[in-house]
Structure 1
Amino acid sequence: MDKPVAIVTGSASGVGAATALKLAQRGWNVVINYSKSEKEAQETQAACQSAGAHTLLAKGNVASDDDCRAIAAAAVQRWNRIDALVNNAGTSVFGEDAKWDNIDAEVFQRILAVNTLGTFQMLRACLPQLKAAKGAVVNVSSVAGALGIGSSVPYVASKGAVNSLTLHFARQLAPDIRVNAVCPALITSPWFDKGMGEGGLEKAIAATEAHTPLRKPSTPEDVAEAIVFLIVGAPTITGELLMIDGGTHLGTRR
């Protein structure tokens, strides 16, 4: 009961799973959230438990306010506290599905519902406990929201909105709660691999290695390290949009 508690949405795999594990290794208890990938979520749970954490597996779609409130309530019932929230759950469309003519209102709204509305709803659901703990929120955004590039127009719009929400809540919730965002570019994660289709991730990695200043994409662990830093090692940082993009925002390397 004395350990701090973090909720990490979308933590069955990729950045979310890496973040949950790194927090577990630092002595945190973690809520592992998933919407579909139960097997992968159980694997993340086992890894966190092996690291010494107590865990809670919470199925729920952050696009649903009822699900968000249920996830927060489960953490409170188990530990009576929430010290950190990582809004990592996200979705997009890729390839042919991302072409303008193939994006209808339903697709646009579904992406906004998970990426943007879900971020707001989870923060609201956790707010009393985060305030009591003088806790931290980290929103997993994207360079898409800062640079206007990305897998699809609704994804770009949703992450731009996440960045704006981050700044808004950093002001509104200070001094009790710190609110920051990380903005990765390409990540070598299952989400990118599946979304980009056969050979897509390899092509994107090659382009990143050829054109970005640091010549390499991020791993899920790279992004997780930054998230954990903003939770446990940055007591005077709030309202920051941290670019984790190998220098992508600097432009093409000469």
Structure 2
Amino acid sequence: MKLKDSVALITGSSSGIGAATARLFAEHGCHVVINYSSNEAGARAVAAECEQQGVRALVVQANVADDADCRALVAATLAHFGRLDILINNAGTTKFCDHANLDGLNKQDFLDLYSVNTVGPFQMTRAAEKALRANGSGHVINMASIAGLAGIGSSIAYAASKGALVTMTRSLARVMGPEVRVNAVCPGFVQGEWLKNGLGDDRYNTLLEKNKAAAPLNDTASPETVADVCLGLIIGGDLTTGETILIDGGAHLGAAPVRR
């Protein structure tokens, strides 16, 4: 699939991974829909950067946990561009809670995280299904996490919601082919403000260095490296669907051998 003149809708793209993905796609000639829940200023700044690449950018507020908002977001995209080729389900949320602190989570925490991290991508995919199928080569990328594969991360509720998203990716890949490919990307520790704000500077810096040291590639993901993988799946993965791509510098491989 070629990105030039395609249209990509990227949820949660006012900052972080979503913003990096929008900017990268714009560099390749892809028109973008910048979605935000509360950060309008950030969304408009990202849109302006994308437009500097000569593409069109549409900014739309929507909460992916609300089905009506999902349908309105897709409708606005089609009204503005007349088509939709790529859906990046990037919007996500968490609650930071040590896994050993079982009393730190309650039922509502799980429901809140699932509503955005799992139900949101389903609702967005359902709303976009007809448009994505229309051109015969649509693509959905779900932003999951290594937390959903390894049972780690900011909280048990977060890991569970991302694990469910990985499973849902496979289910959707089966039913949306051959017109639409559905894949998930699973970043590990991602450098940037999202984790820094959640962890605090000291813990963030400590975990960053530990994750780098544990990875065979001696590095962790950044918003830009995650965006690179999304780009590769779209323009170089015509026969790839239902897959889960890890982006963690190889840290999931476990202890590295001693280097002589």
Q: TM-score per shorter chain, which class?
A: over 0.9
CA shift at 1:51, angstroms? 1.2
Does residue 1:143 correspond to 2:146, yes or no? yes
- Residues 27-85 of structure 1 show CA distances to partners (whole Å, capped at 9, x for unaligned) of 11100011011111111111101111101101111011011111100000011110000
Tell me, yes or no, if the aligned pair for 2:113 and 2:157 is still in contact at 8 Å: yes
Tell me, yes or no, if the aligned pair for 1:95 and 1:196 is still in contact at 8 Å: no
Distance 1:237 1:197, change over 3 A: same
Distance 1:58 1:185, change over 3 A: same
CA shift at 1:98, angstroms? 8.7
Provide TM-score, normalisation by structure 2. Answer: 0.94
Identity %: 43
CA RMSD of aligned residues (A): 1.5
Distance 1:93 1:200, change over 3 A: same
* Aligned counterparts of 1:195 and 1:69: Cα–Cα separation in 2: 31
Tell me, yes or no, if the aligned pair for 1:98 and 1:153 is still in contact at 8 Å: no
* Aligned counterparts of 1:11 and 1:98: Cα–Cα separation in 2: 32
* Aligned counterparts of 1:224 and 1:164: Cα–Cα separation in 2: 22
* Aligned counterparts of 1:149 and 1:156: Cα–Cα separation in 2: 6
CA shift at 1:198, angstroms? 2.9
> Which one of the candidate residues 150, 168, 171 is aligned to 1:168?
171
Tell me, yes or no, if the aligned pair for 1:97 and 1:103 is still in contact at 8 Å: no
* Aligned counterparts of 1:102 and 1:50: Cα–Cα separation in 2: 45
In the alignment, structure 2 segments of 5+ residues that lack a partner are none
Q: Decide which moves more: 200-209 or 178-187.
A: 200-209
- Residues 154-211 of structure 1 show CA distances to partners (whole Å, capped at 9, x for unaligned) of 1111111110011111111111100001000011122111111232221111111222
- Residues 113-170 of structure 1 show CA distances to partners (whole Å, capped at 9, x for unaligned) of 0000001000001000000022000111000111111110111111111100111111
Q: How many residues align?
A: 253
Aligned match of 2:80: 78
* Aligned counterparts of 1:5 and 1:98: Cα–Cα separation in 2: 43
Aligned match of 1:117: 119
SS in 1 for 2:237: coil
In the alignment, structure 1 segments of 5+ residues that lack a partner are none
Aligned match of 1:108: 110
Tell me, yes or no, if the aligned pair for 2:97 and 2:104 is still in contact at 8 Å: no
Provide TM-score, normalisation by structure 1. Answer: 0.96
Distance 1:154 1:25, change over 3 A: same
> Which one of the candidate residues 25, 28, 40 is aligned to 1:26?
28
Aligned match of 2:225: 222
